[in-house]
Each structure stands twice: as structure tokens, then as C-alpha cells.
Structure 1
């Protein structure tokens, strides 16, 4: 696991946690400069997804413990905020529920928080890992997915294209990622339980609720977290981040009370 620190060290610290099988730079490279005026940004690069290492993704809990260890060592166990993009939101939830460190503001970026039993999770992980591994190796979408994308309205195509860029589609940058890393990450996210009614003194949970995902996701946020700060957007999954980065940065700063600094 690598940690990329950017911005002034005297600023409040925010961790950025990438989504499923995303490269840290493809996920957050474009928005980091929008945060460094008020934050010291620490962008996390998971095991198995950083080309400077020869590692494989282990499981969600092992990676969570590595995050805790780094925060304890470098920041005395306390940070201002952690933003989790999609799967990264599961890490935010795990870090908070384990109470090994203190996060003042946990921000979930339209995370789905989906969970499943071992059999279903194994089947889904096997299917997804095969598709993503081919995408990473070739740098292109499978034919059937490309045809489906071409049938969508132009604005939706633009959104999905930006989402695909987070997965490295359009280049072979992610060809180093192993099938096992993909499968382990996808599988362990599904089977690692997140508690219900999570509440920690001194921590506020903010959920970027992308309403176009469906009402069930709002219900999940309210199930797992006690009185979360729901920030509703009439958008799709992580659309605020990929399509409206300036508004996304303002929303993150607003969560932390740093918008007008």
C-alpha cells in the first residue's frame, strides 16, 4: 500500500480512498489540486493496484489495518476527513466502526455498501474479475459493453466514459493488476460486514446520496449510520466527482467546515 501526500503539512488532513479496482491517479488526480488550498491530501493506493509495487490485494480488513497503522504513525491516530469513492466508502465505514483511529468527517461518495453471502459473492467476483482483467490488459471495453454504451444518450455516454477512465479504459496502464487482486477486492468488499447504527463521538458521517441510484441506497446509509448527514444529488453513481469536480470539491470542503477559508 502506498500513500501519496500533497499539499501543505500544516493543513487539516484528508484521505482519499479509491473505488473498486481504480488507480489512485485516475480516480483523484484531477481533483487533488482543488483540495490542496485547504487540505493536506493523502491519496491511498491499495495493494495490488500500484505499479510501483509487486503486491496483490489481500482483503478489506488487512488493508483497513494498514490504513490505521499509517494514520497512527504519521498523524497520531487522528485526521480531519476521509473520502471514500464507491468501494472506498466501505473502508471509511470500517475505519470508523473499528474505533482504532479518529476521523472527524467520514464522507461516502455514493457508495453502494452492497453485501452478499460467500457463494453469491464468489460467483460475482469470478465474473467481474474476468471482465476487468481483459479490460485492463487490452485497455478497451468488451464488444457487448461498447454496443450497449453506444445506445445511450450523449450525456450519459459522456458520464460513463469518464467513469471508465477511472478504470484505466483507454490505456493499458492497469495491465499489471492480477486477476487475483481484482477478485479478492471485489469479493472481500461483499463479504466483509459493516455494522448497523454506527455512531462514534466526535465523528460525523456525510453521505453523498446519488438519487438516480435508487431509494435503497439512502436506506442503506440510514441503516449503517446513526443520523448521517445526507447530501442528496439528482445524479448517478459518483457523477458529482467525475462530471462536476469543482462542485464536488466545494461539497467536500463544506462537510468539513472549510468551504470559505
Structure 2
């Protein structure tokens, strides 16, 4: 695992945690420099997802422990905020629940927080991996009809599909260093790692960028897992604010972190 830092020492630390299968530079490339005007930005590059290492993604709990250890070693165990994009929100939730480190703000980017028993999770992983992995590493699906459907979505949409793909894998970025095993471990482990209910860490505010177009069921899910979540309701799709409107996303993150 690597952590890439941008911004002046002494500024409040904002940790960025990528989504499922996402390359850190693609996931947050549009917002790192603007954020660095206000924060010391620390962007996590997970085990198995960094081209400078020969590692495999282990489990959510093991990776969480590594992130916490980094925060303890480099920031005395305290940061201003952590933002988790999609799967990254699971890390934010786990850190809030475990209480090993302190963050003033835990921010989830519309994370689905899906959980499953081991057998259904294995079946889901076996179904999704053959579709996700080729697209992640080559930009193309193996099945022609999926590529045709993707082109149809691109042409009919407002730029969200292309922006989301760019956030996931970037343009012209060679992600062949990511192994199928790392993606499998990440996808499966996220499904089977339980997130407690009614998480309420002392001195930490939990904020959620709730993309309403994901569906109403997520509102109940957020209120189940967190005792006092602050929901920022957005009439958008999953992580659309970050992908399509990075300037507005930066402004919202800055506003959240000014509340204390």
C-alpha cells in the first residue's frame, strides 16, 4: 500500500480512499490539486492497485489496519477527514467503528455498503469478475453485446458514463499491473466484511453524499449503520458529483470540513 501526499505540511489532513478497482490517480485526479490549496491531501493506493509495488489486495480488515497504522505513524493518529469513494466508504465506516484512529469527519461518497453471506458473495464475485476485470485492464468487455450497450449509454447520456469510466481507469492508463486476484479479493472481501450498526464515534461527524438516483433503500441503510449521519441529498447518480462536477465536489468537501 502506498499513500501519495500533496499539499503543505501543517494543513488539515484529508485522506482520499478510492472505489472498487479504481486507480488512485484516475479516481481523484481532477480534485487533488484544488484540494491541496486547503488540505494536506493523502491519497491511498491500495495493495494490488499500485504500479510501483508487486502486491495483492488482502482483505478489507487487513487493508484497514494498514491505513490506520499509516495515520498513527504520520499524523499521530488524527486527521481532519477521510473521504471514501464507493468502496472507499466501507473503509471510512470500518475506521469509524474500530476507533483506532480519530477523524473529525468521515465522508462517504454514496457508498452502497452491500453485505452478503459467503456463498452468495462467492457467486456474485464469480459472476462479476469476468465482466469487470477485462474492462478495468483493457477498456473493453469480452462480450460484444456489452460493448454495444456501453456505446449506446454513452451516446444517449450526458457525459456521466464517460466521466465515471475516466474516474475508474483513466484515459490511456495501462492498468495491466492489477491482477485478477486483487480485484477478486477486493470485491469479495467488501461483500463479506460486516459493518456494525449505529456507529457513533466520539468527536466524529459522518457525512454521506447521497445520490438519490441510486434508490431510496440506501437512506435506510445509512441510518442503520450510522447513529447520526448527515445526508447531503444530490439528485444525481452514483458518484456523479465527483466524476462530472469536480469543482462543486471540492466546494462541498471544504464546506463540510469547516463546520467545527
State the TM-score bracket (shorter-chain normalisation): over 0.9
CA distance in 2, matches of 1:152, 1:99: 42
Checking the alignment, whether the CA contact within 8 Å between 1:14 and 1:41 is kept in structure 2 is yes
Following the alignment from structure 2 to structure 1, what is the Cα–Cα distance between the partners of residues 121 and 170?
24
RMSD of aligned Cα (Å): 1.6
- Taking structure 2 as the reference length, the TM-score comes to 0.95
2:140 maps to 140
Return 70-79 or 145-154, whichever deviates more: 145-154
2:64 is the alignment partner of 1:64: yes
| Long gaps (5+) in structure 1 | none
- In the alignment, which residue of structure 2 is the partner of 1:39? 39
Match of 2:19? 19
CA pair 250-175 structure 1, distance change in 2 beyond 3 A? same
Matches within 5 A, 1:1-261: 1-142=1-142, 143-152=144-153, 154=155, 156=157, 158-168=159-169, 170-171=171-172, 173-257=174-258
- Deviation of 1:136 after TM superposition, in Å, equals 3.4
Pairwise CA distance, 1:126? 1.9
Aligned equivalents of 1:105, 1:133: Cα separation in 2: 33
CA distance in 2, matches of 1:66, 1:110: 24
- TM-superposed CA distance for 1:140, in Å, is 2.2
What are structure 2's unaligned runs of at least 5 residues? none
For residues 252 and 156 of structure 2, what CA distance do their matches in structure 1 show? 23
TM-score of the pair, normalised by structure 1: 0.95
1:30 partner SS: coil
How far apart, CA to CA, are the structure 2 residues paired with 1:179 and 1:46?
A: 14
Q: Distance in 2 between matches of 1:63 and 1:166?
A: 22
- SS of the residue aligned with 1:41? strand
Tell me how many residue pairs correspond in the alignment. Answer: 259
Partner SS state of residue 157, structure 2: helix
